[in-house]
């Protein structure tokens, strides 16, 4: 019996986790992608997407407005976002930032809440609202097999340049405007002393610096994740 056709059928459904998707999207799916019913299925996406960084791209296909909204929610509730807010609240309390919040559990809760609120607002405006209006892609596309210099340059460049839904590039108005809108909105619930224009732009600059560092981590996260998955189980 010729087993070659059976082996070919089995191998065609095998989709290993990629190190990272290409930063350049093809305008059309290949014939192989279109003929593969598993490609892009909910199960396939679930197995490939990052829980820690939901905005790491796993496909070159553009997102709909609904998908951008879901991504904004996923980013807000990701372990990295919640953990970052917890860490930031702890550092803020230790340095007695926002002294009007006080100390103790109540003060920590207010600091954590304000950090999560700003994160949720930034995701809502930047990842969903402005990205949908301007047809920009809010996901992060790492460079595969890049040098350290190339990764850092790409991570920093992504702050000011973003992919578009059509596959090109454009100034990252959605990300920058989303961050600014979030900080302006934060002035409605932060203490009075922190609602000045100077402190608003100081928070904005600090947030941009943190995202630049986060982008560098995203560059290596797919490779780290793949190595962790492929780590042999000790006997």
Model confidence over 47-65: pLDDT tens digits?
467 788 999 998 889 999 9
Six token digits for residue 159? 């702050």
pLDDT of residue 157: 96
DSSP secondary structure string, 7-37? Answer: HHHHHHT--PPPS---SS--SS--HHHHH-T
pTM of the predicted structure, to 2 decimals: 0.74
* Of residues 170, 146, 138, 167, the one with CA closest to residue 219: 146
pLDDT tens-digit map of 155-207: 999 999 999 999 999 999 999 999 999 999 999 999 998 999 999 999 999 99
The confidence band for 23, taking pLDDT boundaries of 50, 70 and 90, is: very low
Note the Cα 172 to chain centre separation in Å.
Answer: 14
pLDDT tens-digit map of 65-89: 999 999 999 999 999 999 999 999 9
Selected residue with higher pLDDT from 37 and 139: 139
How wide is the angle at C-alpha 115 spanned by C-alphas 83 and 196, nearest 5°?
150
């Amino acid at each position: 019996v010729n087993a070659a056709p059976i082996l070919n059928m089995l191998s065609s459904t095998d989709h290993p986790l990629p190190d990272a998707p290409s930063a350049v999207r093809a305008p059309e799916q290949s014939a192989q992608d279109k003929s593969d019913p598993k490609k892009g299925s909910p199960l396939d996406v679930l197995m490939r997407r990052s829980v820690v960084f939901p905005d790491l791209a796993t496909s070159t296909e553009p997102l709909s407005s609904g998908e951008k909204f879901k991504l904004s929610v996923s980013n807000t509730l990701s372990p990295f976002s919640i953990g970052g807010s917890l860490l930031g609240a702890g550092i803020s309390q230790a340095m007695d930032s926002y002294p009007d919040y006080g100390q103790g559990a109540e003060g920590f809760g207010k600091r954590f809440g304000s950090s999560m609120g700003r994160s949720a607002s930034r995701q809502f405006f930047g990842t969903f609202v402005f990205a949908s209006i301007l047809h920009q892609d809010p996901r992060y596309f790492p460079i595969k097999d890049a040098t350290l210099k190339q990764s850092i340059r790409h991570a920093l460049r992504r702050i000011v340049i973003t992919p578009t839904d059509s596959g090109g590039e454009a100034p990252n108005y959605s990300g920058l405007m989303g961050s600014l809108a979030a900080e302006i909105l934060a002035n409605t619930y932060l203490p009075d002393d922190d609602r000045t224009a100077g402190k608003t732009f100081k928070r904005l600059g600090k947030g941009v610096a943190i995202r630049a560092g986060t982008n560098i981590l995203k560059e290596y996260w797919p490779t780290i994740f793949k190595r962790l998955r492929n780590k042999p189980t000790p006997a």
